[in-house]
A = this chain, B = another copy of it.
Amino acid sequence: MFVNRRDVQIQWGDCDPANIVYYPRYFEMFDDSTSILFEAAGFSKQDIVKKYGLVGIPMVDTRAKFYIAATHGDWITIESRIESIKRSSFEVTHKVFKREALAIEAFETRVLAGRHPDDPARLKSAPFPEEMVVKFMNG
């Protein structure tokens, strides 16, 4: 299924007093990576909101396994892949490489969410637009 790769340089402010990346920062990078994966497929977050009337693609379940630490100045490659699509949920994996080595593996299950018709403060899962499914399946 659809894959995107991008290179990210670890910055000073990504790191903690142990001089390695403060791990919540990786989840920020993964969230960015999923957005950029969608954008690479032709579906920006702005489109998701304005064209498809959704609120976002909130996280339902995520896991990350950390094998190799990184520090400021390091370049990493994040490879993000749509693994599966259901009616309104989907799975993404992120593999982080530091040079050739697999440094982190992360897994996400997200849903497409719209506003609940009875209460706009609540979210409600929404079905995948057909053209997104087609693009992710064949792209």
Contact = CB atoms under 8 A, between A and B. Distances in A.
Contacts of A18: 55-56, 58, 113, 123
A118 to B, nearest CB: 16
A12 B60 contact: no
A17 interface: yes
Contacts of A121: 19, 71
Given A12-B35, A35-B11, A35-B12, A20 B58 contact: yes
Contacts of A28: 13, 24
Q: How many copies does the complex hold?
A: 4
A123 B69 contact: yes
Q: How large is the interface on A (under 10, 10 to 19, 20 to 34, 35 or more residues)?
A: 35 or more
Contacts of A71: 17, 46, 121
A131 interface: no
A22 B17 contact: no
Contacts of A15: 16-17
Contacts of A73: 39, 44-46
A7 interface: no
Interface in A112-129: 113, 121, 123
A58 B62 contact: no
A65 interface: yes
A136 to B, nearest CB: 19
